[in-house]
Structure formats: C-alpha cells, structure tokens
Amino acid sequence: MGNAVQAVVAIAIGVGGVVALFWVLNAVVERLPKRQEELLKPYVFVGPAIAVVGLFLLYPAILTIWFSFQTRVGTPAQEFTLDNYVYLFTDSRLHSALINNLLWIIVVPTVAVAIGLLVAVLSDRLKPTSEKIAKSLIFMPMAISFVGASTIWLFIYAWRPPEVEQFGLLAALAGLIGDPPATPILQMSDFRLNSFALMAVVIWMQAGFAMVLLSAAIKNVPEDTIEAARIDGASEVQIFWRVTVPQIKSTIVVVTTTILILVLKIFDVPRVMTSGDFDTNVIANIFYDQAFTFGDRGRASVVVVALIVMTLPFMYLNIKRFREQEAQR
C-alpha cells in the first residue's frame, strides 16, 4: 500500500503545484502599479503554456535539426558532418522501413475510412437503440491502448505447429479451410503480408474514430437534398456517391489526414508484436533503436528530421485552415 500512498502524494503535489504556480504569479503581478499590471497580466496567463511548449517541443525541434548535422556522441569532438544524411538516403534497412510506412499511410487511412463510412451510412438507417449499440461496438477499440490492442491481436495470430490443436483464431480458421499454416502469419514477409497483419490492428482501432466523425457529418447533410434526388429517381447507391459524399468531403479529408499523421509515427504495434523483425520495421522504431538502443544521436535525429519534413504539409494546411476560420469569425 506504500505504493498507493506515494501515488496519492504524487498526484497532490502535481495538481497542487500547478494551482500554486498560477496563484503566486497572479499575486505578484497584482502588487505592481495598475499600468504595469495590465501590461504584464496576459503574459502571466499565457506564460506557463508557452514556456512548456517552447521547452518541450520548439527548443527540442531546433536541437534535433542541429544534432542531425553532428557526429555521434562519444566521438572526440562534436563536429559538423553530413554522414547522417548519407545514412538517411542510402541505408537499406531504413528504406525497407520507409516502404512499410508508405504502405501504412496508404492502406490504414483508406480502409479505416471506408469501414467507418460504411458503418456510418448503414447504421443511420437503424432504430436509435440499435444504431447506438452498433456504433459503440465499432467504436470501443478506440479506447484501448496500442499495447492492449497488440496483445489482443497477438492472441488471434497465435500459432502452434500444425500437428497440435490451434488456439489462435486465424490459424484455426485457416486449418478449417485448408492445411494449417506452416509458419506464423507475423513471420510471413512475402508481399509484406505480416505488415498487413499489423495494419489490421490499427484499422480495427481507428475505424470507430472515422465512423464517429463521418456519422456526425452525415447527419448534418440536409434531408431535402436527399429527398430531391430520391424524387428524381436516383438509387440509394447513386444518392450516396453523388449527394452525400460531396457534402461530407471536408470531413473525409480531416479524418483521413488525422489517421495518416497517426500511422506515419506508428511505433507501439510493430514494437510489441514483431519488434520490427521479419521486414515489418517502421521509421519510428528505427528512431527508437538508434536513439536508445545504439545511442546514436545523429542518426536518430536525422530520422526525426525526415518525420518533421513529412508533417510540414499538414502543419501548413492546419494553419491555412485556421486563418480561414478566423477570417469568418
């Protein structure tokens, strides 16, 4: 129970500390002359948020770019070098991982959005209670951690030698149809089949997220546009593609890019399920190994620089969209 007491104390310190910080800062500023108080107070309010973002995101980002041009720690002097960039562009393990990441960002957002859209459209026609149950079931995996989800799917992919009874669902089903598989699916690297098995986990988790947002968008499609198409004799399928989809396009884009950014940095699932072996490695796992297994700061940093470059378009789009929203306010 000492552990629990320690935890309660830790929680109290953490929560109390931040309240005290703002109280003290505010008390100090309120003692200043009125003019200075007015001038300084906004910065007391935004200060802590800016400080942590600066310290924990902005400053590290700059340092990471700087590190990517340095020789590895442990060499006599931290000299300027382009070796890390040579590594980035020539290392075959890294390129194999990049191919996987490319497959991930193509397959996972597409399939998750497709399933989410299907469920959103079909459940929209059910009675409210059935709709709620159906959506909850699809949505539930979203609450689980990647590690928990990986464990669940490892159990499905569990494999035993063909002569004994299979307790993994996939191998058992395969045994029903034909011969039981000779190797576990997570070791089948032909056509990167095992990577697709890992992607299934994340699709399973993200389809519910896509469904929730798309369902909300579908319910906002004006009923009269659909009625009008129906009166004109359009089939349900035509109505879906020609009337509904164009009106929820912006949501489809947001959901797709959100999942895309998530899988760009996918780490937990390959780490827990295969450790990146059997050609399933991804760049976030290479980053982790370079930084914390091999201690090569330069190579780890150059991998992050590649990640930053890949997210720049989305950063630009977010800021652009924000400015458009502000203009409408």
Q: Which of residues 55-94 bind other proteins (CB under 8 A)?
A: 55-61, 63-64, 67
150 is a contact residue toward other proteins (CB under 8 A):
yes
Stretch that binds other proteins, among 81-89, 96-104, 106-114, 265-273 (CB under 8 A): 265-273
Specify the residue, 192 or 297, whose C-beta has the smaller distance to other proteins. Answer: 297
| Whether 93 contacts 277, CB under 8 Å | no
Radius of gyration of the chain from Cα atoms?
A: 26
Specify the residue, 34 or 80, whose C-beta has the smaller distance to other proteins. Answer: 34
User: Rule CB under 8 A: which of 291-310 touch other proteins?
Assistant: 291-292, 297, 300-301, 303-304, 307-308
Specify the residue, 103 or 310, whose C-beta has the smaller distance to other proteins. Answer: 310
User: Rule CB under 8 A: which of 158-187 touch other proteins?
Assistant: 158, 160, 165-169, 172
> Distance between CA 269 and CA 182 in Å, rounded?
24
Specify the residue, 178 or 190, whose C-beta has the smaller distance to other proteins. Answer: 178
204 is a contact residue toward other proteins (CB under 8 A):
yes
Specify the residue, 6 or 89, whose C-beta has the smaller distance to other proteins. Answer: 6
> Distance between CA 48 and CA 28 in Å, rounded?
15
33 is a contact residue toward other proteins (CB under 8 A):
no
219 is a contact residue toward other proteins (CB under 8 A):
yes
Q: Write phi, then psi, for 318 (nearest 5 degrees).
A: -60, -45
Stretch that binds other proteins, among 75-83, 95-103, 118-126, 179-187 (CB under 8 A): 118-126
DSSP string, 117-149: HHHHHHHTTS-HHHHHHHHHHHHGGGGS-HHHH
- Angle at CA 13, nearest 5°, toward 12 and 19? 90
Smallest CA-to-CA distance from 37 within 47, 48, 49, 26 is with 26
Specify the residue, 86 or 315, whose C-beta has the smaller distance to other proteins. Answer: 315
Shortest spacing between CB 255 and other proteins, in angstroms = 7
> Distance between CA 4 and CA 124 in Å, rounded?
46
Three-class secondary structure of residue 295 per DSSP: coil
> Distance between CA 266 and CA 273 in Å, rounded?
12
